[in-house]
Structure 1
Amino acid sequence: MEALRAACLTLPGVSPQAQHAIAEREATLTKPAGSLGQLEELTAWLGGWQQRATPQLEHVQVLVFAGNHGVVAQGVSPWPQDVTAQMVGNFRHGGAAVNQLARVAEATLSVIPVADLRPTADFTTAPAMTVPEFLAAARTGYDAVPQHCDLLCVGEMGIGNTTAAAALAATLFHGDSLLWAGRGTGLDEDGVRHKARVIDTARALHAHSLTNPLEAARHVGGYELAALLGAVLAARHAHIPVLLDGYVCTAAVAPLGCLNQQGLAHTWLAHCSAETGHAKLAAALGLSPLLALGLRLGEASGAALAIPLVRAALAYHTGMATFAQAAVSERI
């Protein structure tokens, strides 16, 4: 755990040289300064973390991590746990929503079952994972990131994982559990209240262990959440910018943001989901979403949807004529 903590604290930074070169070209393009808003910020973000004055998007990878949760025994989801494995099969056969979105975005999609889909312990009675289990899951995510990758998109699949996400968010940022617990895959109001009570039970049980963000992730998180943390950490070490998906994904990487003020600087939140607590969690981590489409599917769907926006930002920046090339008069 200390080695993982050290890896979270010792992180490479953005390239100011690349960002300066991007800004210099931006100033010469045939448009008013700042007129393309966040698209301009996306280009600088992409090139700065790739450490390239001319960013590229030849290799875009979508990683979906799947895991199961012992807390499902507490009735926190209307769906049976075997749906996780069934959906992994659906991803592999190309039948899920993210398969279609990744194809449209010209991205490679990989799905990775973590811990062979063995459920974590029920975190209302014991820590979700032992130290070796947590570290192995984080290593699975770390090792899944290809070295030759221009942009990484991360997401998840796991029945019960919005309960883990809400428990981790509540642990790290406090407040009433009901503020963090949402409908997940279709709970009614009574189900949401029950989910909050389950989270309260877990918070009380593990209160002595929840001051350390990594220990909080081990106690009330999940295998796929730990893998997401590992993947985003690996991307940082490899200078790869990352698009984060929804609530579960944001909660999974929150420990990195808590341990290191700049820990999530290489990430961009693809969207703000409809899940209760996501907007609050994003604000707590200083993340601003690109999209707000009312999504709550998970499986990297929102991250995949944001890829074409990044492609558009790169296309205008590299393809537009300069004032000199187009013989257009500049501002007086």
Structure 2
Amino acid sequence: MQQFKIEKPNDDVRSYLQEKIDNLTKPKGSLGILEDLAMQIGWVQQSLSPKLSNPCHIVFAGDHGIAAEGVSPSPQEVTYQMIANFWAGGAGINFLARQHGFDLKVVDAGVNFDFKLEDPIIHKKIRKSTRNYLHEAAMTHEEMELAIQRGAECVQDCFDQDCNIIGFGEMGITNTSSSALWMTYLTGVPLDQCIGAGCDHTGNIINHKYNVLKQSMDNYKGDASLEDIMCYFGGYEMVMTVGAMLKAAELKMMILVDGFIMTNCMLVASKLNANVLHYAIFGHQGDEAGHKLLLEYLKAKPILNIGFRLGEGTGALCAYPIIDSSVRMINEMNSFKEIKVTKYF
């Protein structure tokens, strides 16, 4: 598998950042999470005056063979239909990207549809849908490695556009099923606590979903290694995101992490290289059942908890103004010394 050189940022700058933050014209600690974010971004950028430039958001799209087992109430064609909605500018992620100034890119990682070369999509298709992991591995190790590589290529293109903060989202019917399996194998949390309703707002699908996924686990005869779990139960859009996250951290970019599926991708990325977590900002705690437990496992503190479960990266982009505020705080607030205000704490 492609290796990524991800460094832990040098800690020497942290004391200087803390001193600057503590001496802004406010009581110490009074801006809460803005102070935490300013510290993290300044630490990653090794700068007392961090900046956010040319934010990008990539939606990776792919289909899953397990959809044949009815684990989602939505038919598989919704995946490519939603991609057309992205093109038309009418999806949830579109208005948020416009609102917050993100360059939105949509990537075909493995959609079960034949797009035209002229379609406004980034063509990175591995295969038209993964295989059905109730019966066999979703992808081969060679396909997994190719997905890692192609995800990294997408991030490099954004970096070359002077982007230093990047979000990731997904589109793929049944990818909450694959995410639940990644989670249970890699965290030890029981499967029933990892499974949520996905796009089924009624919750009626959960029992059937559990039974299919439990049978898939019973049928699995692999070695339970990280790479084998990625291959057997993953989605092309998910593995591509893992490669993208690792590359972003290698390039010292800030990574906006969205909901349940994207947090599972960060989980896998962190198992491959723990240093990736230094670059991650967790946008929100989603409404999918296992997301809270997964965030707790990663010791992650999400910015928002507003009942989202859409995916596409919507929760991460909703959190962006708070991240922007943290950088504005450290750069635009006066210090007590500059403004000659007596410290009032």
Is TM > 0.5 for Structure 1 vs Structure 2? yes
The structure 1 residue matched to 2:56, chosen from 45, 61, 66, is 61
Matches within 5 A, 1:52-131: 52-117=47-112, 118-131=128-141
SS in 2 for 1:66: strand
Q: What is aligned with 1:241?
A: 254
Letter in 2 for 1:290: I
- The normalised TM-score by structure 2 is 0.90
Matches within 5 A, 1:258-273: 258-273=271-286
Q: What is aligned with 1:255?
A: 268
- Matching of residue 154 in structure 1 with residue 144 in structure 2: no
- Matching of residue 185 in structure 1 with residue 180 in structure 2: no
Q: What is aligned with 1:165?
A: 179
Give the conservation status (yes or no) of the 8 Å contact 1:182–1:275. Answer: yes
- Matching of residue 322 in structure 1 with residue 335 in structure 2: yes
- Identity over aligned pairs, percent: 32
Give the conservation status (yes or no) of the 8 Å contact 2:79–2:111. Answer: no
Give the conservation status (yes or no) of the 8 Å contact 2:148–2:240. Answer: yes
Give the conservation status (yes or no) of the 8 Å contact 1:257–1:285. Answer: no
Give structure 2 stretches of 5+ with no counterpart: 113-127
Q: Which moved more, 1:16-25 or 1:30-39?
A: 16-25
Give the conservation status (yes or no) of the 8 Å contact 2:286–2:309. Answer: yes
1:275-330 Cα shifts (integer Å, max 9, x gaps): 01111111112212110001000000001101100111111211111112222112
Q: What is aligned with 2:237?
A: 224
SS in 1 for 2:110: helix
Deviation at 1:28, TM superposition (A): 2.1
- Measure, in 2, the Cα distance between the counterparts of 1:219 and 1:61: 30
Matches within 5 A, 1:288-307: 288-307=301-320
Letter in 1 for 2:293: K
**1:187 and 1:219, CA in 2 relative to 1: closer, same or farther beyond 3 A?**
farther
SS in 2 for 1:156: strand
The structure 2 residue matched to 1:287, chosen from 283, 300, 325, is 300
Aligned residues: 326
Give structure 1 stretches of 5+ with no counterpart: none
Deviation at 1:116, TM superposition (A): 4.9
The structure 1 residue matched to 2:40, chosen from 41, 45, 49, is 45
Letter in 2 for 1:221: G
1:14-48 Cα shifts (integer Å, max 9, x gaps): 13244333223213211111111111010111122
The CA RMSD over aligned residues, in Å, is: 1.7
Letter in 2 for 1:309: I
- The normalised TM-score by structure 1 is 0.93
Give the conservation status (yes or no) of the 8 Å contact 2:183–2:189. Answer: no
